[in-house]
Every structure is written in C-alpha cells, then in structure tokens.
Amino acid sequence: EPEVTQTPSHQVTQMGQEVILRCVPISNHLYFYWYRQILGQKVEFLVSFYNNEISEKSEIFDDQFSVERPDGSNFTLKIRSTKLEDSAMYFCASSQGQAFIEQYFGPGTRLTVT
Amino acid sequence: AQSVTQLGSHVSVSEGALVLLRCNYSSSVPPYLFWYVQYPNQGLQLLLKYTTGATLVKGINGFEAEFKKSETSFHLTKPSAHMSDAAEYFCAVSGSGNQFYFGTGTSLTVIP
C-alpha cells in the first residue's frame, strides 16, 4: 500500500541553524501539507501546497518557514533559523483530490532544537 | 471555523471491555469528521471517517463512530478492547479549505 515517507526520523539541531525536513508524498497525490505537534499538544496545521504554490497557511507559518517541491517526488519544509520553540514532531501529509476528504500522514520527523 | 474537543486525555479499559473515546466538534459548515490512531513511533493512521450519508461509520480494527449532529459529537467505540488497541487516538474535523483541525488526543491504555 502506498504511504507517505519522511526523513530523517529524528533531527537534532542548534538554535539558529537551518533545517530541512523531507517528505515523499504518495505518488499520484496533488495536495501536500505540513503539520506539527509540540509535545503534549494538539496536531497543528502549518501549510498546504498545491500546483507548486502555497494554497493556505496558518499563523504559525511565518517568514522563518518555507516549503518547496524541488522535483516530482519530494516535498520539503525548511526552517531558516530554528528556535527552541520549534522543537516538535513534524508530520507531512498528502491527498489525492479534495483536501478535506482524506489526508494520508507520514510517520513524522522529531525535531529537537538545543 | 472548526474545532475539536476530546474529553479525557487518558482512558484506561480492561481487555475485553467497551472502548469509548469522546469527541465533540464545532463547525460553521457541514463537517467532515475523522478518527486517526497513532501507534508509538508511527504516523497517523486513518481509522474511519464521516463525510456524508450513514451516520454510523465503521472503520478498521472493529472501531466505529456515530455522527450526532444534534449533540455535535463523533464518539469512537469498540465493543471489546484488545491489547493491540493501546495507542493515541485523534479526532479531527474539516469542512472547507485545506486543513484538518485536530483534538489534543486521547491515550488509550488496555489493562490485561
């Protein structure tokens, strides 16, 4: 069964450093998303991406964040200058068509900022 | 706007007992409702969803949920808990736009 994959599974970085989290969505899906889950809190939407542009983003997704689909398979989330409060589990998701029908989630990348 | 409230961050049941995980939603548009399960070190796996039609929906692993518009609820149930059901369960709602709104999750412990 097709699945969303994410690398790395765990990333440790120092405050102020740039990180890139990588995702490979399901191959025939057209919509891509990033969510994050701070430890003990709810899963929060960050951004959605369709047709090579951001279609929706939350207040969390400020100028420190960017997304890119550099080729036909990868979908990346970049945090330009990490802060301690960026420590969280980051989930990538994708959907085939209408976004609100179903989204398939990856296993997540745990980001630890020290 | 949409939001989800999950009552009970931790639920413990005995093996073989009824599982009931509560979810109440708020939505300004007809909601689409979802339950996801997260096993340790794994991603979010869809258990079941309600979009339109029958209000009682059946999912994987013997779980089901009933959409009750009058109560704005979408509680998850399973008649008989199994040890393998121990996991984190998330209720989510969407209705328009691209994002899902998640609850804070309920950690289910199954006692042998």
Q: What is the pLDDT of residues A70-106, one digit of tens each?
A: 887 899 999 999 999 999 999 999 998 765 668 899 9
List, for residues A24-49, the tens digit of each pLDDT value.
Answer: 999 989 999 999 999 888 899 999 99
Q: Would an 8 Å CB–CB cutoff place A31 in contact with chain B?
A: yes
Task: Tell me the CA end-to-end span of chain A in Å, nearest whole number.
Answer: 37
- pLDDT score, position B56: 95
- pLDDT score, position A97: 77
CA gap B50, B42 in Å, rounded: 23
Residue B82, pLDDT > 90, answer yes
SS3 A69: coil
Q: Do A33 and B96 touch (CB under 8 A)?
A: no
A90 within 8 A of A34, measured Cβ to Cβ? yes
> Residue B36 has which token pair?
């996801």
- Residue in B42, B49, B103 nearest the CB of A42: B103
- Residue in B51, B98, B101 nearest the CB of A56: B98
B103 within 8 A of B22, measured Cβ to Cβ? no
